[in-house]
Structure formats: C-alpha cells, structure tokens
Amino acid sequence: MTTDQAEQGAFVRAPLGVQERITADGSSPWPVEAGRYRLVVARACPWANRTVIVRRLLGLEDAFSLGIAGPLHDERSWRFHNDPGDKDPVLGIEYLGEAYRAADPDYSAGVTVPAMVEIASGKVVSNDYANMTLDFSTQWTAFHRDGAPDLYPEALRAEIDEINEGVFHDVNNGVYKCGFATSQEAYDKAYTALFRRLDLLADRLATRRYLMGDTITEADVRLWVTLARFDAVYHGHFKCNRSKLSEMPVLWAYARDLFQTPGFGDTIDFAQIKQHYYGVHHQVNPSGVVPLGPDLRNWLDPHDREQLGGRPFGDGTPPGPVREGERVPPLS
C-alpha cells in the first residue's frame, strides 16, 4: 500500500514498480513453475488478502509457498518481524525491500505486498496486485486442486471486470481516498462515492447471494476484503462513518456469509489489521494507539443468506483445512 498525495488534497495510489506477470503461455519472462516462487503477503493488507484467498480456494499451496510479513513497517518497508530471527525462513531477508533491490539495486518505487519473489535469486518478479489473482485463475490451472472453483469464468469476465472497476475506484481505493484526503472537498467527494457504490452493491445483493449470482467469483473476493476491514478500521480510522458495515443489513449478511465460508474468514487476523492501520499511519493516528474494539464476534452470527439459494463453489468443492503455519487466530 502506498500513500502519494495529489493536488487539492486528494489521495492518489502510486503506480506499481514491478508489473511483470507469471504466465503459462510464454508471454512474459517468468514461466509458471511449481516451487519457483514465494508469494509474500501481510495479513493486514487487503490487496494481499485477495491473493491469500484465491490461492487457498484454488489449492495452489503446493505450487508456490507463502511468506507473511508482520503488520508493522517503517520507511524501510514491510518487515518479517513475526518470524523467528525477524527473517523470512525461506528468503532469509528481514525487509521485503531487500527482494525489490535484488531485482533492481536502484529501485525507488513503493515496496508493496502482495509480491511474487523468485526463491533462487531472491528477486521480486511482480507486485501487480490487479492481475495477480486473475493469473492464479487463468495461468496456474495445471496446479489447481481437484474441485477448484472457477473464480473467473470466461463467459462472465466482461461483467466481472466492469464490477471490479467500480469497486476498485469507489470502495477498495475509496476508503483510502477518504482516510488520506487532506482537504474537505477531496474527502467529501470520496465519502459520497464510497457510500453511493455500497448502496448500489447492496441493491444488487438483495436478490442474489453473490455479485455474479449463485457462485463466488473474483468480484466477491475483491469486494469482501474491504468489507472485512470496514468496522475494525475504515469506519473510524478512515472516517468512513456514515454507517458501520454491521448497520447495512444486506452487505453485513453477505460479508458474514463469506466470512463463514472456507477460504475467507480463515485468512483474516483482525489483531494484525488493527495493529497495521493504527500503528503505521502516523499522519492519521499520530499517537499510534490501537483501539481495543469493536467486538468482532458478531461475524459468527447467522446470516440466513442460504435462503437465496446458490452454490458457493459452483461445480467445485470447498478447500481443505488451512495449512500448518498459515492459520489465523480464531474469533473468541
């Protein structure tokens, strides 16, 4: 995540510095190859959370390993401060920035997660979060598990892309536009767009279980990672406070439905999410104090979305248990 500021106090997300892609068709320098890469994420980051969910739903755990940076970082980048010796056990680095500089000693753009790193060279291959999960669905098919769902069905791609575009600008990035705005005009514009989009999404989801109908797709993954963080951080920390998610009945039930679906809630660590946002964004929260609330056990309340029918994984099956070393603390 990056925090460039534009004119008139509006937040503009900085461009990515390593936009290569890993492909199966020879269209990039980086081929799909099991065991060659390590996906580096942070539990706190919604963009990284998308990749963790899709990797798990598709069963790609054996195709590429998972490195998890801690929730705190400084000007030197994301740090593996939750790992033994403060180093990633596979890459042997303390800061993710080391892998970026291995790829380019003069690298000066943002050090972001998610990042795919070539294990042998220690070089970042890609931080292209916009396409990474799509490539998991379309380029890594040889390594999908039996029963993997089709998260990006060809017949629906144009509609999924259209929904994702609006969700990105107004919701995924919209909460940041609210939180990092430095003028009232920029904040008001972002706030209005955010809740207008959420109202439209609620209308869409009032009569269908998922954004595309009966089954989970890439569109649901992208929306859900922002909804999952809404009450814990965006409502207060980023001033997205027209209403809490838990006060928006359709979206709240939809979000709980997915939270209770294997592959979603079992990727969420609310403690790390709060530690990151409140502990790192000093321009928003100078004290660094992390709030104790809200009580998040209501994520386990019944959602009753089954009444809309649908099959979460379509013709596929749920993913298996979370791998050892990748589990998150359960809600208590």
Binding-site residues from annotation for glutathione? 78
The Cα–Cα gap between 196 and 200 comes to 6
Strands 4-5 and 11-12, sheet pairing: antiparallel
CA separation, residue 238 to residues 74, 174, 179 (Å): 20, 10, 4
Helix 157-167 and helix 218-228, axial crossing angle in degrees, nearest 10: 20
- φ/ψ (deg, to 5) at 37: -120, 160
Residue of 129, 176, 187, 278 marked catalytic: 176
**Radius of gyration for the alpha carbons in the chain, expressed in angstroms and rounded:** 19
In whole angstroms, give the CA distance from residue 94 to residue 80. 6
Q: What are phi and psi of 210, to 5 degrees?
A: -125, 170
Cβ atoms < 10 Å from Cβ of 35: 11
Please confirm, yes or no, whether 176 is among the known catalytic residues: yes
Cα–Cα distance for residue pair 305/145, rounded to 1 Å:
27
- The encoded tokens of residue 258 equal 């997915």
Neighbours of 211 (CB within 10 A): 24
**Side-chain-side CA neighbours of residue 14 (13 Å):** 14
Which bin fits 122, alpha (ψ -120 to 50), beta or left (φ > 0)?
left
Asked if residues 48 and 113 have their Cβ atoms less than 8 Å apart, the reply is yes
Which positions make up the binding site? Answer: 78
What span, in angstroms and rounded, lies between the C-alpha atoms of 188 and 178?
8
Q: Which residues are catalytic?
A: 45, 176
